[in-house]
Structure 1
């Protein structure tokens, strides 16, 4: 029994060293060591991480740390090498391909080269909503004077971004593009009347619902790619009624009705009667 226990411990230690988080713990120790060093600097941190890259060439966390460090310090060729190494380990997944397309795009002085276009196409084939690539395409369209296309790309990107700073930057770009087009900036549109619609119950549904059943009036983008842009809840007893769908009725700051030029309105009545399926209202296209 003692021999078996020792063997289990030995095998466990070997497995942990090969498959466990020992390498990541070393990376954490390196980070803390540089932070606590009075002479610690970004250059020192990069040098220590490069040492770990030689010792742990197959650890994706090494390269995912080095890539942004190289990028922020202007070492673009090294950043590309680190990112390509990370892609070799993690696979050709959309977020990494998008980062590679973006950095090559800026290295090419904001030109959509054949290499960048190939990366963009590969990314969008896997994830048509990838925000980094959509942001890149928006910049390219803006530089070429196609402001409406730039706005469309940036609005789609905003719908899939959680970082408020990035969203704010893209909104600034949209506002500038709108000014170049000579139209009212997006902020003014958001404060306007929104979409005003009158909702009434179809006579064919009258016998299938009760006065206290819920009515949901929802605005969605025409392509169906975004979360609901605005939702208003009422009761059947309040119909017919006129409602205004604007940004105040948005479910998420990343998906608002001011981000789209056209919206699809859907009205649903959810009956409380157990035997009834949800009753659907009419679909409106403003």
Structure 2
């Protein structure tokens, strides 16, 4: 903070100079006025002396005029170059008072409205923390300085969980949800922290949070893992196996937690078998949908489009939400082209091609780059989302 205060001090000196320079100039002008008044008094004294000598008969009229002229020349020489006196309407007290009040008022306003705490935090975060406790203290000060930052609140909650402070973490995740909205990941983190804060006791609140998270995103990993833990602790081993298998399917092959998760599934399987139960076979996974379509432009339209016009190719459910289930964006210059639309191109996790039995293919040209409205369009008839045969789609009609 030293460099900041040095810079502030220099700016303050510049501001004060605008107030003090006029005062110094006024003092200089006063000195010049005093010198002029002295010269005038000396001139008058010299003239009086000449008049006295003339009255005594020492000087005649010619000598008197010569002496008066000499005194006048000396007065003019002494006063030459002196600027005319300036009239000040402010006086001396007001600028001096302002010179005192400006720094005091500026400091007060900065301490009230300024961001010295944020400047200090920025300097601290530029250096790596030496311990987890130091990192926690930094995050706490950051949240205090920026209480509306959902990201800061979220990371503080994660830090509290790492320090085995689930009650504090639950408060932070609840706060993050209020700031950023009820996002599935935040709901899952909140539910997990609340579960451990309640000493691993399942509650209606935790159930509601996990239900809401999985409804918005069936692949939300924290909720799946938590439900598996709760099921295992409640000796509902088949449920634990099912939840953990769903979680295992979401983890990448190189994820280090896969080994621990697989170990939990193995232990749940052993306990289920030891109690006389039998592991239920997981339902067959629905095959991922993949549609292959060749898109071309009608010959009569080639002179009416431009190479840079956007081309949106998408599939949407014939009975269901109007939003595209899978989409790709190209340009007219790419036509003709063959593309694949599948579950990997889903716009939202819960809206996949494989979740809808029948879809329609659409290709739209939009000069403005808007996927919902354009100049020309081509549409297919209804077809099954499980179709494997290549499809052909021609853009040939005005988009109405």
- For residue 67 of structure 1, give the secondary structure of its aligned residue in structure 2: helix
- Structure-2 change in CA distance of 1:26 and 1:149 (3 Å): farther
Find the counterpart in structure 2 of residue 222 from structure 1.
284
Question: Does residue 180 of structure 1 match 2:271?
Answer: yes
Q: In the alignment, is the contact (CA less than 8 A) between 2:229 and 2:240 conserved in 1?
A: yes
Selected match of 1:51 from 141, 149, 155: 141
Normalising by the residue count of structure 2, what TM-score does the alignment of the two structures yield? 0.38
Q: In the alignment, is the contact (CA less than 8 A) between 2:202 and 2:230 conserved in 1?
A: yes
Pairwise CA distance, 1:268 = 8.3
- For residue 57 of structure 1, give the secondary structure of its aligned residue in structure 2: coil
Q: In the alignment, is the contact (CA less than 8 A) between 1:131 and 1:157 conserved in 2?
A: yes
State the alpha-carbon separation in 2 of the partners of residues 76 and 172 from structure 1: 25
- For residue 159 of structure 1, give the secondary structure of its aligned residue in structure 2: helix
State the alpha-carbon separation in 1 of the partners of residues 206 and 172 from structure 2: 17
- Structure-2 change in CA distance of 1:169 and 1:157 (3 Å): same
Question: Does residue 78 of structure 1 match 2:172?
Answer: no
Selected match of 1:90 from 180, 185, 189: 180
- Structure-2 change in CA distance of 1:174 and 1:32 (3 Å): same
Aligned length: 174
Normalising by the residue count of structure 1, what TM-score does the alignment of the two structures yield? 0.52
Structure 1 runs, 4 residues or longer, greater than 6 Å off: 23-28
How is 1:159-238 mapped onto 2 (pairs within 5 angstroms)? 159-162=249-252, 164-182=255-273, 222=284, 224=286
Query: Greater Rg, structure 1 or structure 2?
Result: 2
Pairwise CA distance, 1:172 = 0.8
Which protein, 1 or 2, shows the higher relative CO under an 8 Å CA cutoff with sep ≥ 6?
1
Pairwise CA distance, 1:64 = 2.2
- For residue 74 of structure 1, give the secondary structure of its aligned residue in structure 2: coil
Pairwise CA distance, 1:145 = 2.1
Selected match of 1:120 from 197, 203, 210: 210
Question: Does residue 30 of structure 1 match 2:110?
Answer: no
Gaps of 5+ in 1: 1-22, 184-219, 229-266, 276-286
Q: In the alignment, is the contact (CA less than 8 A) between 1:27 and 1:49 conserved in 2?
A: no
Q: Deviations over 1:101-155 (max 9, x none)?
A: 1111122222211111111122122122222111111112222222222111110
State the alpha-carbon separation in 1 of the partners of residues 118 and 185 from structure 2: 22
Q: Deviations over 1:32-84 (max 9, x none)?
A: 3243xxxx322222222212212111122211221111111122222122212
- Structure-2 change in CA distance of 1:27 and 1:92 (3 Å): farther
State the alpha-carbon separation in 1 of the partners of residues 165 and 175 from structure 2: 16
Gaps of 5+ in 2: 1-116, 275-281, 290-385, 393-400
Q: In the alignment, is the contact (CA less than 8 A) between 1:34 and 1:41 conserved in 2?
A: no
State the alpha-carbon separation in 2 of the partners of residues 140 and 165 from structure 1: 22
